[in-house]
């Protein structure tokens, strides 16, 4: 819900300041409406129903995958579209993929979000309302800012949201912020005291290829970004997760694995290889054999490596697939091209 509007309406009604905390505790516990907040006077619940929308977002569509993944298309009050995802895992984890912007201004070539029109930064209330939507459906315990947008370009709102996620059951140690290498934001996060996790979208070991795939590299070169990540590690004593999407014939050769290993300090970085999820781009995903060989080359060099378990690909909810068409509808999944 819009926290500023809630606070203003409560003040206008002459309510004590603790009412804001009462409402938030109910919402964070999964209350479906103001009517469920039974320790609030009935007249106040009626006033809030009338004057303060229970969510700052409107759900436009929701789709479910066979693996339990749920993707929800939402719109802000000024009709900006965004998508958020709930991922269920066999070990019981219920992880949220949250968006920080409507669209993204950074136009990474292989990412569907980068190809849609950028709207604006989301407010902290709009970020939290994505999480609250899924909290009303059950317990949640992990969050990743890997949805629409570059979180470090909207860091104030993201950090405000992160500070309140523990009320929903998501500790800051279980919250990861992903960046394409937005250097000022990494530096700010390094000085921020909370134990958040940092993930770096890398996708190439040399500046020329990385600039082709990710134009932001022209602004913040890879060497400078890796140095900022080193400072993060020294301040936090927590490894940086490197996200590396596997693109057939582009960045998946043995020589490129060796070059990547040479750039990464194994004490600081852990690599997460991501099978490419189909979009409308010209790229194809690497074969299982190519991914396995790439992984082996990194491990032989002492780099810790995992291969991401793909969730929600069939509903275009997987990494790099979140996008909204020009008419505001959720973009369909593109057919796989292997």
**Beta-bridge mates of residue 87:** 95
- Out of 97, 111, 229, 319, the active site residue is 319
Distance CA 165, CA 275 (A): 29
Give the side-chain half-sphere CA count within 13 A for 330: 21
Q: Is 265 left (phi over 0), alpha (psi -120 to 50) or beta?
A: beta
Q: Would you call 83 a catalytic residue per the annotation? A: yes
Q: DSSP label at 324?
A: B
Pairing of strands 70-76, 57-64: antiparallel
Distance CA 58, CA 33 (A): 14
Identify the H or E element spanning 124.
Answer: helix 124-135
Q: DSSP label at 215?
A: G
- Out of 83, 126, 150, 243, the active site residue is 83
Q: Would you call 162 a catalytic residue per the annotation? A: no
Distance CA 158, CA 197 (A): 13
Catalytic residues: 83, 319
């Amino acid at each position: 819900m819009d926290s500023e509007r809630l606070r203003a309406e409560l003040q206008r009604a002459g309510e004590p300041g603790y009412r804001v905390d009462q409402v938030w505790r109910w919402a964070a516990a999964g209350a479906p409406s103001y009517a469920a907040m039974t320790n609030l006077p009935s007249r106040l619940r009626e006033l809030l129903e009338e004057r303060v929308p229970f969510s700052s977002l409107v759900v436009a569509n929701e789709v479910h995958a066979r693996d339990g993944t749920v993707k929800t298309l939402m719109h802000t009050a000024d009709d900006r579209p965004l998508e958020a995802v709930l991922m269920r895992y066999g070990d019981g984890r219920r992880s949220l993929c949250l968006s920080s912007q409507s669209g993204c201004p950074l136009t990474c070539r292989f990412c569907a979000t980068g190809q849609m029109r950028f709207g604006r930064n989301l407010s902290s209330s709009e970020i939290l309302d994505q999480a609250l939507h899924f909290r009303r459906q059950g317990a949640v315990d992990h969050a990743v800012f890997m949805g629409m947008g570059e979180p470090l370009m909207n860091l104030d709102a993201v950090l405000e949201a992160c500070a309140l996620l523990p009320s929903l059951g998501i500790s800051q140690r279980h919250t990861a912020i992903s960046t394409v290498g937005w250097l000022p934001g990494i530096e700010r996060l390094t000085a921020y005291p909370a134990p958040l996790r940092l993930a770096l979208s890398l996708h190439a070991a040399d500046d020329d290829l990385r600039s082709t795939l990710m134009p932001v590299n022209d602004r913040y070169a890879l060497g400078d970004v890796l140095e900022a990540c080193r400072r993060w590690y020294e301040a936090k004593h927590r490894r940086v997760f490197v996200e590396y999407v596997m693109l057939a014939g582009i960045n998946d050769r043995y020589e490129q694995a060796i070059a990547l290993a040479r750039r990464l300090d194994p004490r600081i970085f852990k690599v997460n290889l991501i099978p490419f999820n189909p979009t409308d781009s010209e790229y194809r995903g690497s074969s299982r054999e190519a991914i396995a060989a790439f992984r082996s080359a990194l491990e032989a060099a002492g780099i810790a490596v995992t291969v991401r378990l793909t969730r929600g690909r069939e509903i275009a909810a997987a990494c790099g697939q979140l996008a909204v068409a020009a008419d505001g509808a959720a973009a369909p999944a593109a057919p796989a091209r292997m």
